Structure formats: structure tokens, C-alpha cells
């Protein structure tokens, strides 16, 4: 009996140890708001129709609603296996944000505290990793021109990615065999749905890039580069090139951020799709332990734009936007907020053909200014 009891105790101890070495976490965000927007077109195809819009947008004011699973297993010797599955949904209807179940992230990998992390699957680009910490509104889902800044390909399928953390420095590099981004602009569908991996056409819809970031003692700097090779026709890829530089400074309750992003989009024949310089600056102020205030300014100098490969380029008016957020935290998990934005010479969040109208702010004909205000609640779990 003693031997049997000892064996059972040893088995139980081993089970506890095994359980402690691995974990799976369910996590997510639900963010819902009510919004008023003026001078917004009924759709991109009907710019002569529209007016004010009052309702519940499918994307929250601060965060896109999502749920996910992440797991880690200790393999010994300082090595861990990991995975992430993350799905976005429309909080107001419960519908999926887009067709794939895990449309935001779906990857697995292996990591070591000394060597770094290697991950494989659908992930954020290294350009996003290098820039996101410098977003004045923390990459807010509403009233921050995130897709204009990062590009439609800020998440990519079929990706091999390396992330290394060396003290205050982070180095990231990635390569995608087929980004899975379906559109180059609002009207051009990409070959093979943007998935790439076509025999004999290796560079179709590939993407690659890298970033180097420093964060320590209230100071931060980052440099990042990204290239995407979207192919509207099999074997004829274009090229989207982005370069970025950013900085931040934290002092007491104040945080300052600023940066610059270069962008050039080219058709497969070398003609210019879009050439712009994008600048931003922001300040965050923690007025009380519960209340945070954020103010940001965004500017895009659109130097050249064209709707088709053989169409002469135009020089549209430069876009400006000012955004403000007041965010009150009831707890670490629940907050309420008011967010407002004013855009000049474009839609809010610089929405348009270059962002595939992802934010649903198409502009009306002759419209120069657009104002939006949203109030909402967010819970993190």
C-alpha cells in the first residue's frame, strides 16, 4: 500500500509539474460605440449622395473587437513552443470581420530567451512591430490613419518571421511567400487572391521587411522598412515600398511621439500608383490615475497618384487630421471614452481608395472637411 500510495503521489506531482510547464490563455477585447459623422458619402461609388451619419459602427472607437487563444509549452533548455489564434468580429452584430475564422493572427513558433523567436503563419509585419509603439492614439481603430500609415499589408499570410529582444533593443525581420492581401486599391483584385505561391512566379504577392527599435528609460527610437509585391496579373508584380522613422519621450504623466513614413507604390510597368510623405505628432497626458487625454496631428503630402497604370498622375490636395481622445478607466479591464476627429481634404483616418475604404468614410463630391465624434465602452478579458 505504501508503494502504491507513493507511486500515486509521484504521478500527481508529475502531472502538476507538466501542467505548470504549459498554458493556454483565452483573451480578447469588446469595444462598442455610438458615432456621429458629417459629410460622408453613402458609398465610394455614389459620392454625390450622403450627408450626416449617426449610428453604431462595426469597429470600436479605441480597439477592434477580437478574441483569441495563445499557448506556450516549455520544452526545456530555455526553449518554448508557442501558438496564437486570433479572430476579429463586429461587436454590433457578432459577424466575423472577414471570411477566415482566424483573420487577425494564426501562427506557431519556437522561442528562446537568448536567441529570439521564430514564428510561421499569418502575422503582423516587422514594419508594424517597429512603428506601433509610436502611434499617438495607440493605433486606435477609429480616427487614427493606421492603414494609410502601415499599408493594406500590415498583416500577411504565409510568413516566416524572426523577433529578437536584446536588452532595450528589438530586431524584427520577416518574409511572406504570399501576403494574402486581396486588393492593391479599391478596384484591383490581385492574382490568386494575393496568396502568391504560384509555380514559376515566385515574387507574385511576396512581402518582406525589417525593423530596429530601442525603448528604455522613457526614450524610444525606431527605424523600419517594408516592401510588398502585389500582382494584379500573374507574373506582373508591382511594388509598394515603405520606410519609417519614429521617436518618443516619456516624462512623468506626459508622453510625446513623432515620426515620418515614406511611401511609393508602383504598377508593374513602373508607373506611379501613389507617392506620399506622411508625418505625425502626438501628446498623451495622464491627468489622473483613471483619466488619460490624447491629442494627435497627422499630415500626408500626396505628391503623385494615379488610378491606372497608363493614366497620368495627379497631385491631389494634402490631407490633414486632428484627433482627440478622453479615456476614463473604471478598472484595468473596463474603460469609457470620447473620441473626436477633424479631417481636411479627405475622409477621417485618411480613408479612400489607397486604404480600400476600410474605415467606411468615403468623401462626398466637393467635400473639404469631415468631423466625427464617438462615445463608447471597452472591456478587455
Q: What is the CATH number of domain 21-380?
A: 2.40.160.10
297-334 pLDDT tens trace: 999 999 999 888 778 888 999 999 999 999 999 999 99
Cell of 371: 468631423
Q: What is the pTM of this model?
A: 0.91
| Residue 7 φ/ψ, nearest 5 degrees | -65, -45
pLDDT of residue 317: 93
CA-nearest of 106, 35, 51, 98 to 358 is 98
Structural domain boundaries in the chain: 21-380
In a 13 Å sphere around the CA of 142, the CA atoms on its Cβ side amount to: 32
| Residue 200 φ/ψ, nearest 5 degrees | 85, -5
* DSSP for 212-245, written as a single string: EEEEETTEEEEEEEEEE--EEETTEE-EEEEEEE
* DSSP for 317-330, written as a single string: PPEEEEEEEEEEES
145-194 pLDDT tens trace: 999 999 999 999 999 999 999 999 999 999 999 999 988 665 678 999 89
The rounded distance, in Å, linking the Cα atoms of 106 and 121 is 6
CB 265 within 8 A of CB 239: yes
pLDDT (mean) for 236-263 = 97
Span between the terminal Cα atoms of the chain, in Å: 46
Q: Is 191 helix (H, G, I), strand (E, B) or coil?
A: helix
Amino acid at each position: 500500500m505504501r508503494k502504491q500510495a507513493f507511486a500515486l503521489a509521484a504521478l500527481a506531482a508529475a502531472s502538476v509539474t507538466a501542467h505548470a510547464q504549459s498554458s493556454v490563455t483565452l483573451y480578447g477585447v469588446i469595444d462598442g460605440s455610438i458615432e456621429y459623422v458629417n459629410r460622408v458619402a453613402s458609398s465610394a461609388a455614389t459620392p454625390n449622395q450622403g450627408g450626416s451619419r449617426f449610428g453604431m459602427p462595426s469597429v470600436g472607437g479605441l480597439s477592434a473587437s477580437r478574441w483569441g487563444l495563445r499557448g506556450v509549452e516549455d520544452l526545456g533548455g530555455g526553449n518554448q513552443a508557442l501558438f496564437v489564434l486570433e479572430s476579429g468580429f463586429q461587436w454590433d452584430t457578432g459577424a466575423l470581420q472577414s471570411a477566415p475564422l482566424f483573420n487577425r493572427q494564426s501562427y506557431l513558433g519556437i522561442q528562446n530567451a537568448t536567441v529570439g523567436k521564430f514564428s510561421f503563419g499569418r502575422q503582423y509585419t516587422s514594419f508594424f512591430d517597429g512603428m506601433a509603439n509610436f502611434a499617438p492614439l495607440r493605433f486606435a481603430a477609429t480616427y487614427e490613419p493606421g492603414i494609410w500609415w502601415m499599408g493594406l499589408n500590415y498583416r500577411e499570410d504565409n510568413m516566416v518571421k524572426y523577433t529578437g529582444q536584446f536588452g532595450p533593443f528589438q530586431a524584427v525581420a520577416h518574409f511572406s511567400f504570399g501576403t494574402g492581401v486581396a486588393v492593391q486599391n479599391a478596384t484591383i483584385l490581385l492574382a490568386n487572391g494575393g496568396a502568391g505561391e504560384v509555380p514559376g512566379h515566385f515574387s507574385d504577392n511576396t512581402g518582406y521587411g525589417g525593423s530596429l527599435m530601442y525603448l528604455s528609460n522613457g526614450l524610444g527610437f525606431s527605424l523600419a522598412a517594408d516592401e510588398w509585391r502585389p500582382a494584379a496579373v500573374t507574373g506582373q508584380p508591382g511594388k509598394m515600398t515603405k520606410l519609417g522613422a519614429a521617436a518618443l519621450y516619456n516624462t512623468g504623466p506626459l508622453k510625446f511621439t513623432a515620426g515620418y513614413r515614406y511611401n511609393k507604390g508602383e504598377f508593374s510597368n513602373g508607373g506611379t500608383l501613389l507617392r506620399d510623405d506622411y508625418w505625425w505628432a502626438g501628446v498623451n497626458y495622464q491627468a489622473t490615475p483613471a483619466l488619460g487625454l490624447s491629442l494627435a496631428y497627422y499630415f500626408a503630402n500626396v505628391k503623385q497618384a494615379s488610378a491606372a497604370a497608363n493614366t497620368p498622375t495627379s497631385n491631389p490636395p494634402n490631407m490633414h487630421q486632428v484627433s482627440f481622445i478622453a479615456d476614463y478607466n473604471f478598472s484595468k479591464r473596463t474603460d469609457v471614452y470620447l473620441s473626436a476627429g477633424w479631417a481636411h481634404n479627405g475622409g477621417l483616418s485618411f480613408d479612400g481608395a489607397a486604404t480600400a475604404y476600410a474605415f467606411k468614410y468615403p468623401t462626398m463630391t466637393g467635400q473639404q472637411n469631415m468631423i466625427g465624434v464617438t462615445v463608447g465602452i471597452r472591456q478587455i478579458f
